[in-house]
Amino acid sequence: MVATVGKVLIALAVTIIVSLGWKVLYWVWLKPKKLEKLLRRQGYKGNSYKLLIGDIVELATMVKEARSKSIHPISHDISSHVMPFDHHVFNKYGKKSYIWFGPNPRIFIMDPELIKEILSRPDEFQKPHPEAFRDSIVGGLVISEGHKWETHRQIISPAFNVESMKSMFTAICSSCSEMIKKWELLTASTGVVDVDVWPYIDDFAGDVISRTAFSSSFEDGKKIFQIQKEQMDLAIQLLFILYLPGARYQ
């Protein structure tokens, strides 16, 4: 009797191990390779899938190198500096391309008609939700799906029509004038000075949002915007960390 129970337990353990092994194999290799084949069949191009890591290492390396260099010569064409890996993929594979975030492909959708079709079918084209607990807290357009997404979009759409944007023009001009005055003060004594404009542009964006959305200056809500900026920086850093199941619970 004991021997029989032991054999049953061993058989059960083997079954569970084989089942889990198959699921892991499918997740880290079989499914990504299947998706890669389907994407290439539809005319999309990209790097071949690398086991588990995808393009994460190459992406992180390019971003780190780009951030360590200044833009020389100065130019309005900054895509290779701001989004180096995306720029590299576009040059190598064209606009109909994809990249790998771990075992998951991310497709670049550049066709306006295709974008319009996707936005008009929210029930069919849904967002990935790897963090259920986080999504339950965040909410909004970023997380919502289906009818809820359509409702939220209809609520905010009037704020972005042409007439509404025209009404924001005065506030935007005021923010821009204040930023330029700060630069003029820096050059008042010497006439010429090297300025890191990014902090000013960052504050300018926050000031525009404050004036147009809340009818107050950026200085009034500076602490709130600083906290939001820190949250965004942390979220961006997480993009370059290899995703492991259960890691979010550590």
- Please state the rounded mean pLDDT for residues 181-188: 88
Residue 136 has pLDDT above 70, yes or no: no
Chain mean pLDDT for the chain: 81
For residue 206, how many other CB atoms are within 10 A of its CB?
21
* Assigned domain for 147 exists: no
Joined tokens for residue 226: 């600083």
* Assigned domain for 146 exists: no
- Please state the rounded mean pLDDT for residues 100-124: 87
Are residue 1 and residue 104 in the same domain, yes or no? yes
User: Is the distance from CB of 99 to CB of 50 less than 8 angstroms?
Assistant: no
- Please state the rounded mean pLDDT for residues 164-193: 86
* Assigned domain for 125 exists: no
* Assigned domain for 120 exists: no
With a CB cutoff of 8 Å and minimum separation 6, the contacts of 208 are: 168, 171, 172, 175
Residue 226 has pLDDT above 80, yes or no: no
* Assigned domain for 150 exists: no
Residue 240 has pLDDT above 60, yes or no: no
How far apart are alpha carbons 106 and 69 in whole angstroms?
Answer: 27
pTM value is 0.62
How far apart are alpha carbons 245 and 73 in whole angstroms?
Answer: 44
Are residue 106 and residue 165 in the same domain, yes or no? no
* Assigned domain for 148 exists: no
Residue 44 has pLDDT above 90, yes or no: yes
Joined tokens for residue 244: 């492991």
How far apart are alpha carbons 71 and 81 in whole angstroms?
Answer: 7
Q: Could you give the number of structural domains in the chain?
A: 2
pLDDT for the residue 228: 77
Are residue 103 and residue 168 in the same domain, yes or no? no
Please give the residue range of the domain that contains residue 166.
Answer: 161-250
* Assigned domain for 153 exists: no
Are residue 102 and residue 176 in the same domain, yes or no? no
* Assigned domain for 104 exists: yes
Are residue 80 and residue 173 in the same domain, yes or no? no
Are residue 84 and residue 8 in the same domain, yes or no? yes
Residue 38 has pLDDT above 90, yes or no: yes
Residue 128 has pLDDT above 90, yes or no: no
Residue 146 binned pLDDT confidence (cut-offs 50, 70, 90): confident
